[in-house]
Structure 1
């Protein structure tokens, strides 16, 4: 079984760096030397044929790492040039620069130093940058991004805010990013996903004791963590043991949404799935999925006995914001059973905010999150961790903030980041599947946080598996259904 791996924020990384210096008998340059050497090893591993290398160095210690790399490249006989807008400004960076120059290296101005480069190393800014780059630096970053050579970013692609993963201005688009000491929380979600390329880690040989007392800022879950959530079922299982999900939604013109949620709940192992929808949608739903128990709802009172029979309620897919959807939503709010809120159920909640239960799960996309918080969508994306935590604090439920690097925020726990999924999943109906996934896991007895994490990870991993077959563009929610079932089932010996 593979466990989640820890992610750290900038404050923790600075403390770890200080402890790394202490473990080197107080020699801070020893740590920089290891970072530069580790970077050079990555160059040799991934681009062994590159002879013309441009290393773009900033004035701080990230630039110092670049100078060390450049010295190794110079001593190996490569044609290396350091491109710098400003001279080194820290003692460590100055020492690294002096050693590079003493080895015969040279510093040139941009963009001349980038001409003919077969590899560009980005060592402009490290984890400390949280502002927009100035005009000259922004122009250099844009020149690098337009260059045909691959880019290796050291620690963080310059221009990204390592705390949040946002880009206040222009930022480097790297092919690979080599993180130092520990993995950065901000590089796993949001706009950062379009800048980091392949992520790697160089621990710089810090002893494990350096991490004592430093709590991770988040936990990252990859697809290989899935089977830790899905034990084998007992041989004497029966449908009642695997829970009864009630999916509510499908106002006029939106019947497909609740059908997808019901399909996902069945494929993820719910023992029974009922659907409350408009009467006009019942024939199509039964034709598509006879295993679902479809009920046409005209009068809200018809929903009462269905709520009593169900173990978990999933409301939102296609429910609308009209009188019909509002009446169903109000009835569900009075129900004490575990609930999953998505789509228009979240929009209705935003119109009349109230605190939910800790056993409930909310699954907003950034636009819905913005309405729930009363802020702009751009503010949600500027700091997705802060937005997810704000939703958790305001509404009291488990929160799955969807998007690139979905974030699960839970009471009394660090956020979980889902390191799976792909752009092909940006299509209508994918969120409806997620609603059904999480509801099915709650019905099978998963703890609310586990249901939110496992459901989001299962959903994203199924999307990746389906995209590997025929590609991302044109991926449909229904393409994920067989993969949901396969990935939720560990092999029986």
Structure 2
């Protein structure tokens, strides 16, 4: 990993601008999704108990959900039993394509969260960075039920329900044990109110060109002493 990137912290708007530069330059969204999901899959296999066999995947409508589905596919091919909770029927095009392929493999898709209660591990891909609205209704009930199980949960980019910039809980949020922050640290990771939801945090470096980062954020931050040196 290029440790320089650890020094940058972005808002949701800045991350969108940086990603847009990557895509305009020619990086296919699908290729980036495969890369990110591959990196996270490797981390998950390293981190959790090898005796775990049943994994629940929480899938939202956007590309965070797409990341989760690619991870689900890779874990399925490694022999794990996968069950997908997909509570929102209308998905983005790429996410929908991954959903259909996974279903063609015979992976179970459900919209009843209680069917994931026997899973030994949950992967949260409901919402990534940029969520602005409060989570309410049946989905809020489902998230609260998930939290009550106190299972091991890995979140992709941010725990679902956490505001990217402020760390505010938008109605309710997933309590993750481990959160994989994608590309660059988001401001929420520095907000006290979000830390108990984030759990252990880890930056997944998917090779954003430094020029794209500095074009949006400016030059590499420097560390400066703000208190006088004691005698």
Query: What TM-score do the two structures reach when normalised by structure 1?
Result: 0.43
CA-atom RMSD in angstroms? 2.5
- Give the match's secondary structure for 1:142: helix
1:74 aligned partner: 76
Q: Does 1:112 align with 2:137?
A: no
1:43 aligned partner: 44
Unaligned runs of 5+ in 2: none
2:128 aligned partner: 126
1:65 aligned partner: 67
* Larger of the two Rg values belongs to structure: 1
1:52 aligned partner: 54
Structure 2 contact 136–171 (Cα < 8 Å) conserved: no
Q: Distance in 2 between matches of 1:197 and 1:166?
A: 15
- Give the match's secondary structure for 1:169: coil
Structure 1 contact 74–104 (Cα < 8 Å) conserved: no
Q: Distance in 2 between matches of 1:121 and 1:88?
A: 20
Q: Deviations over 1:174-213 (max 9, x none)?
A: 1011011111012211310111011111121222222131
2:105 aligned partner: 103
- Give the match's secondary structure for 2:131: coil
Shift of 1:46: 0.9
2:30 aligned partner: 29
- Give the match's secondary structure for 1:214: helix
5 Å-filtered alignment, 1:301-320, equals: none
5 Å-filtered alignment, 1:66-215, equals: 66-215=68-217
Structure 1 contact 75–103 (Cα < 8 Å) conserved: no
Higher RCO structure (Cα 8 Å, ≥6 apart): 2
Structure 1 contact 166–190 (Cα < 8 Å) conserved: no
- Give the match's secondary structure for 1:201: strand
Q: Deviations over 1:4-52 (max 9, x none)?
A: 82211101111222233345x3411111112222221121121142211
- Give the match's secondary structure for 2:217: coil
Unaligned runs of 5+ in 1: 230-449, 456-487
Shift of 1:88: 4.4
Structure 1 contact 62–154 (Cα < 8 Å) conserved: yes
Equivalences, count: 226
- Give the match's secondary structure for 1:104: coil
Q: Distance in 2 between matches of 1:17 and 1:103?
A: 31
- Give the match's secondary structure for 1:68: helix
- Give the match's secondary structure for 1:67: helix
Shift of 1:126: 1.1
Structure 2 contact 122–151 (Cα < 8 Å) conserved: yes
Q: Distance in 2 between matches of 1:31 and 1:129?
A: 20
Q: Distance in 2 between matches of 1:168 and 1:94?
A: 25
Q: Distance in 1 between matches of 2:137 and 2:176?
A: 20
Q: Distance in 2 between matches of 1:63 and 1:79?
A: 18
Q: Distance in 2 between matches of 1:104 and 1:48?
A: 25
1:16 aligned partner: 18
Structure 1 contact 122–157 (Cα < 8 Å) conserved: yes
Pick closer, same or farther for the CA change 1:75–1:88 going to 2, 3 Å. Answer: farther
Shift of 1:53: 0.4
5 Å-filtered alignment, 1:392-471, equals: 450-451=226-227
